[in-house]
Amino acid sequence: MKYGIFKAGAISMSAALVASLCCLLPLIVVLLGLGSGAFMMITMQYRSMFLPVGVIGVGLGYYHYLRERRRCSGIGCAFAGGKFNLTLLLLATGIVVTAFVLELFPQLTSDILQTAM
């Protein structure tokens, strides 16, 4: 299997994972009881780096996806991996949007943690 076929999905999921490092991943770790609030506070210090990297990476994933789709429709080839890439792009977009929501609404994050504890 060629990596080039799934480049858009791989780029966007990698970027989404980086973006989730500041908000979403620590919240999940704390909710699962695997870490503490201190872990969350340490990782949230880097949100000014993680969130823009996530947005840029997901945007780059969409760019690669649309470019390949346009290229295939222009020359009449089969668009291999199109549905899989689109699924990964949408999942990555959801992860980045969730990270931004948790960042923009800290009260929501606090309420989630209080309810879980």
pLDDT in tens, 10-62: 778 888 877 777 767 777 777 777 666 676 677 777 777 878 888 888 888 88
Domain assignment present for residue 60? The answer is yes
Domain assignment present for residue 100? The answer is yes
Q: What's the predicted TM-score (pTM) here?
A: 0.69
Domain assignment present for residue 64? The answer is yes
Buried b (16+ CB within 10 A) or exposed e, 56-80: ebbebbbebbeebeeeeeeeeeeee
Domain assignment present for residue 17? The answer is yes
Domain assignment present for residue 3? The answer is no
Give me the number of domains the chain comprises: 1
Domain assignment present for residue 1? The answer is no
Here the tokens at position 39 are 């872990």
Name the residue range of residue 92's domain. 8-116
pLDDT 10s digits, 55-101: 888 888 888 888 888 877 777 676 666 788 788 888 888 888 888 88
Domain assignment present for residue 35? The answer is yes
Here the tokens at position 18 are 């980086």
